[in-house]
Amino acid sequence: MARNGCRATNIKMNALHIGTCSWKYPSWRGLVYSDTASPNYLAEYAQQYDCVEVDQWFWSLHGPDRVVLPKPQVVAEYAASVPDSFRFGIKMPNALTMTHFRPEKKADPLVPNPHFLSRDLLLAFLDRLEPMRGKLGPLMFQFGYLNKRMVSSEQEFLDQLGTFACQLPADYTWCVESRNPNFLSPDYFQILCEHRMAHVFLQGYYLPSIFGIYEKYADQLADAVIIRLLGPDRQGIEERTGKDWSKIIEPRDADLDALANMLNASGIRSQKQWLFVNNHFEGCAPLTIKRIQDRMPRETA
């Protein structure tokens, strides 16, 4: 949670972590960063927030024989830039979560990805993250929309996910983000519950609102609740802002009111909460975070 002007809430302080999706935005000067150029944005960022989502290692699949893993020196640099209490939420490589390579044309036959849900690749990736070992938060497997050419049914996907989950090393916070709306079913949440995996609640794009999903499946959730606020129209908001992410241009008050209620309900259940806010949600992630904090109830005696 941000330590600069952050309100206390009736949720245990160590149960709620709030940060942004990435941090390398010069237009945050005056909001997160000092007005002078900083040689290390992350170190300055970590003075205000206690977690961040790292998505740069997601784009890893570049061919059957070319999977790009994090550079050890970059991982070590990130780990050294933040205090011991800081946590990194990591989007796991898409080499693990893409069933097939993207065809050049829609009519082209699909070529299977040999690294899909590969335990060997998973362990190789974790080995690269070793300098961050004590500073890792949610490790998120993002599955894009899977049509019937990729998987024949929800059950096929759940069978594959369950087999993979059995091989996951312990002592990590494993999470799943599914972008198939019809996969967000009792069977899906049951598989996650059985393997103590957390669901990633993505608010944005074409997916149903997270608030109804949470209310329906709250009792089946693992110990952690992960929320990502992305917004419905990435390209549109980029055009409107010119990628100047210094102000709110599309306030989503109703969503933020509902989010405060969801966080409060999750806190009552003693679930650890992770909230990652994207600039694309309202136009400025740091200001959105402040608007969320303003909605949280003050701690009562």
55-78 residue pLDDT tens: 999 999 887 778 999 999 999 999
Q: Which amino acid is at 114?
A: P
Mean of the per-residue pLDDT values of the chain = 91
The domain containing residue 56 runs over which residues? 13-295
How do residues 111-148 score in pLDDT, each as one tens digit?
A: 999 999 999 999 999 999 999 999 999 999 999 999 99
Nearest-angstrom CA–CA distance, 122 and 169: 10
Report if residue 5 sits inside a domain.
no
Supply the CATH number for residue 96's domain. Answer: 3.20.20.410
Phi-psi region for residue 140, left (φ > 0), alpha (ψ -120 to 50) or beta?
Answer: beta
DSSP, collapsed to helix, strand or coil, labels residue 42 as helix
- Strands of the chain, DSSP E: 16-21, 51-54, 87-91, 136-143, 173-178, 198-204, 224-231, 272-277
Q: Identify the DSSP state of 45.
A: H
Domain count, the chain: 1
Report if residue 95 sits inside a domain.
yes
How do residues 242-264 score in pLDDT, each as one tens digit?
A: 999 999 999 999 999 999 999 99
